[in-house]
Amino acid sequence: MSVEERRGRILAIDFGTKRIGFALSDELGWSAAPLSVWRRATFEEDLEHVRALVSEHDVAELVVGLPYRMDGSEGTSAARAQVFIEALRGAFADWPLHTPDETLTTFEAEERMRQLGLKPAEAKAQVDAFAALVILEEFLRARGTWVEVEPSAAADRAPDSRRSGRGRRR
């Protein structure tokens, strides 16, 4: 199937040193929801988890946030994310892969969770998925397909606070 024929959801990824957050769009790119948080394991296990999500959710595009510094330069976090992005490019050569700036997405995610009334323990467990949601929403807005949803509707779609997958604890 060519890239032009590929239709499906968009998977957003918030890549971190300890956890990876995921968010998923609907099939039309009109809305998005936090999906899950994966506790990092080995590099290959992390990639395998992404492969499983892509297959399970009929993903057609990937969006991976790049954590630039406030001055716009790349630091060590962005360099680590670039290594992961290159591995994703190899694993998903036929998929469009976008790498928008994710500056302040965790801050915005924390603020949203406070507004939704999530308890601190719940918020800590879900912050990476909500950061991926912010990345995805900004991407969809830039594309012109995003449809605003009331915040209470987003709370109904919050990810399960249990860890997805079987990554090892570090």
Give 46-104 pLDDT, tens digit per residue: 999 999 999 999 999 999 999 888 887 888 888 899 999 999 999 999 999 999 988 88
Which range among 66-70, 116-120, 129-133 has the greatest average pLDDT? 129-133
Residue 170: predicted pLDDT:
30
Q: Is the pLDDT of residue 150 over 70?
A: no
Q: Which CATH architecture has domain 9-156?
A: 2-Layer Sandwich (3.30)
Residue 29: predicted pLDDT:
85
Residue 127: predicted pLDDT:
92
Span between the terminal Cα atoms of the chain, in Å:
39
Q: Is the pLDDT of residue 23 over 50?
A: yes
Confidence of residue 169 (pLDDT cuts 50, 70, 90): very low
User: DSSP assignment of 29-77, as one string?
Assistant: SS-EEEEEEEE---HHHHHHHHHHHHHHTTEEEEEE-B---TTS---HH
Tokens 């009331």, residue located: 150
How do the residues of the chain divide into helix, strand and coil, expressed in percent and rounded to 5?
A: 40, 20, 40
Q: Three-state SS for 19?
A: strand
pLDDT (average), residues 19-24: 97
Domain regions of the chain by residue span: 9-156
Q: Which residues, in sequence order, are CB contacts of 102 under 8 Å at separation 6+?
A: 14, 65, 66, 67, 68, 131, 134, 135
Q: Which tokens is 133 given?
A: 């949601």
Q: Which tokens is 140 given?
A: 């969809």
Which range among 14-18, 76-80, 161-165 has the greatest average pLDDT? 14-18
> What is the DSSP code (8-state) at residue 11?
E
Q: Which tokens is 84 given?
A: 């992961």
pLDDT (average), residues 15-32: 93
Cα 81 to chain center, whole Å?
12
